[in-house]
Each structure stands twice: as C-alpha cells, then as structure tokens.
Amino acid sequence: MWEILFKENEIDDNSVKDVTVKGTPLLVAKSNGKIYVTDLYCTHEQTALSEGFIEGCNIVCSAHFASFNLKNGNVVSGPEGDSDPIKNLKTYNIKIENGVIMVEL
C-alpha cells in the first residue's frame, strides 16, 4: 500500500529526514537529486541513521561509521572496530506524484 511521506521540496539535496509511517520508522534520503527510503535504524546498534551523513550514494551511521548503499541497502563497510558482519538495510519502493513522495509499505 502506498503511503504519503511529504512534498519533494521539503527535503534538500544530500540530506536526510526521519519519518514514521503507520508505526514504521523510516529514513528518507535525497542524494544527487534522487530520493531513497530505508529503515531508519542502523543494523549494528540501532542508531538512527538520520543522525548520520550522506557520502556519495551511501548513508554513514554516526555511531561507528557503518555505511549502507541507499539504492539497495547493502552494507558498504561495517562498523569501525567490529569485525562481525551486520545485516543489510531494508529499502522501500517510492514514487513521486504531483510533487509528493510516496512509499510502498
């Protein structure tokens, strides 16, 4: 089911926002003009990725610098100082209609 997030002009390029839709916490990221939606929390220690930063097309966690690809949620690099593997992020389909970002939950 498609759910409305917010207007596309409410997020700047190379920035992130966190939103909760139907009880699901989400990260909305805009990188190089494209919108991506993933789970909000890092799979390492559940830190909100909205506290992190965008680097290229990746979101980097502020806690231990784990990095995830925004396009597919794959782990790019694990957390510093921890060699245990971490899970990929869940990503969500989005569409933009009449300037409004929608996510498929």
pLDDT, tens only, 62-99: 999 999 999 999 999 999 888 889 999 999 999 999 99
Average pLDDT, the chain: 96
- Give pLDDT, residue 48: 98
**Pair 21, 103: CB distance under 8 Å:** yes
Domain boundaries, given as residue ranges, for the chain: 2-104
Residue 49 to residues 1, 28, 64, Cα–Cα distance (Å): 24, 10, 11
- Give pLDDT, residue 103: 98
* Residues of the chain above pLDDT 70, percent: 100
CB atoms closer than 10 angstroms to residue 1:
7
The rounded radius of gyration (Å) of the Cα atoms in the chain is 13
- Give pLDDT, residue 81: 82
Within a 13 Å sphere around the CA of 35, how many CA atoms are in the beta-carbon half? 24
**Pair 5, 17: CB distance under 8 Å:** no
Q: Which CATH superfamily is domain 2-104 in?
A: Rieske [2Fe-2S] iron-sulphur domain (2.102.10.10)
- Give pLDDT, residue 7: 97
Strand partners, 7: 100
